[in-house]
Amino acid sequence: MKTEQDKATAPGACVPWDKKKQELPAMTGDEQLVKKVWEEVDSLPYTFIWQMVVSF
């Protein structure tokens, strides 16, 4: 679902991969694997905060 919010952190993420990647050393291996794992792990604090807001 798209809104006019271009600069906000997208749903499902807390620290987007594009931002995190800039903080890491040069990618010498499979970047997609690093990205996939980062996004999976980063979705956890997203789930936490929004479940706190919505469910609890």
Partner 1 sequence: MSADKEQLYQQRLKRYTTALRNGKPDRVPIRPFVAEFVARYGGYTCQQVTQDFNLAFEATVKTCANFDWDAAVANMVYVWGGIAQAMGLRYYAIPGVGLAPDTGFQYLEPPEGQSWMREDEYDQLIADPTRFCYEVWLPRVSTEVAKPGEPASYRNQVAMVAGGMALMSYFGAFPAQVQRMRAEAGMPSAIAGILKSPFDIIADKFRGYLGLCDDLMTQPKNVQKAAEALMPHMYHVALTSSDPTGTVPIGFWMHRGCVPLISQEHFDTIFWPTLKPIILELHKQGRQVLFYAEGKWKHHLKTFLELPEGSIVFHCDRDDIFEVHRVLHHKFAISGGLDNYLLAFAKPQQVRQRVKEIIQGVAKDGGYIMDAGAIIQNDATVDNMKAMTDAAREYGQY
Binding site for partner 1 (CB under 8 A): 1-5, 7-14, 44-56
* Minimum CB–partner distance for residue 15 and partner 1 (Å): 10
Question: CB 35 → partner 1: shortest distance, Å?
Answer: 19
Other beta carbons less than 10 A from residue 56's beta carbon: 5
- Least spacing, CB of residue 54 vs partner 1, in Å: 5
Q: Pick between residue 21 and residue 47 the one whose CB is nearest to partner 1.
A: 47
Phi, psi of 33 (to 5 degrees): -70, -45
Q: Give the count of alpha carbons within 13 A of 36, CB side only.
A: 4
